[in-house]
Every structure is written in structure tokens, then in C-alpha cells.
Amino acid sequence: MVMMIGVMVMAVVVLVPFLLGAARHVVLRTGRPAWVRRALAARARDTRTGAGATATDELLAFLNANKRVQIEQREEERLIRHDVQDGAPPRTGIDLEAGTAVIRPGGTQKR
């Protein structure tokens, strides 16, 4: 009996977010009802993963420690700023106002 309750809880934890995600997808694709679509579209800009993906990731992280490392790495990648100017000098440059593109040869060798 206890095992059956555990299975039901796990099914609810996984299935409910997937069903909500499917309903969200249908509303965003069809545009009906409009007030729900506006609310979901405004919220969609702020989040990167849906509730179903988050619930599945957390469930897998509970069962597998490697998944926890992967989730933490993904969060760290979101927080790190990626600039083009980091590292070596850029080999390419595009000036949209002047309409020019510059490509410099890479790998200058000393003789």
C-alpha cells in the first residue's frame, strides 16, 4: 500500500507538469483564449525551461548525482557573461553603418 502511494505521488509530480506544459503549448500555438495567451507569452520571455522539464530534471537529479552536476553547470552557464572581446583579438569585424566586413588572417608566426 505504501509503495502504491509512493508511485502515485511520483506520477503526479511528473505527469501534472507535463499536462500543464502541453496545455500551455496548445494555448500559445492556437492563441485561444486570448487573455491566457497574453499572460503566458509575457511569462514565457522570463523563463527558459518549462515546469515539466524542471520537474523531470529534479526527479532525475534525485536519482542520479551526475544530473545534479549537469543542472548546476547549466545554471552557471546562464550566469556567466560571454563577450566577444574576451581572449585573443578578434579576427573578424562587421561595420553595418559603413557596409564593410574585415577578416584578418589568423595564426601569425614568428620567423
What is the end-to-end Cα distance of the chain in Å, rounded?
Answer: 79
pLDDT of residue 10: 79
**The C-alpha cell that represents 23 in the structure block:** 496545455
Q: Where are the domains of the chain?
A: 2-103
Q: Bigger pLDDT: 52 or 77?
A: 77
For 13-40, the pLDDT digits (tens) are 778 877 877 887 788 788 788 888 777 7
Phi, psi of 95 (to 5 degrees): -110, 105
For 75-109, the pLDDT digits (tens) are 888 888 766 555 566 667 777 888 888 777 765 54
Band the pLDDT of 111: cuts 50, 70, 90. very low
The predicted model scores a pTM of 0.39
| Distance from C-alpha of 65 to C-alpha of 111, rounded to nearest angstrom | 51
Among left, alpha and beta (phi > 0; psi -120 to 50; other), residue 47 is beta
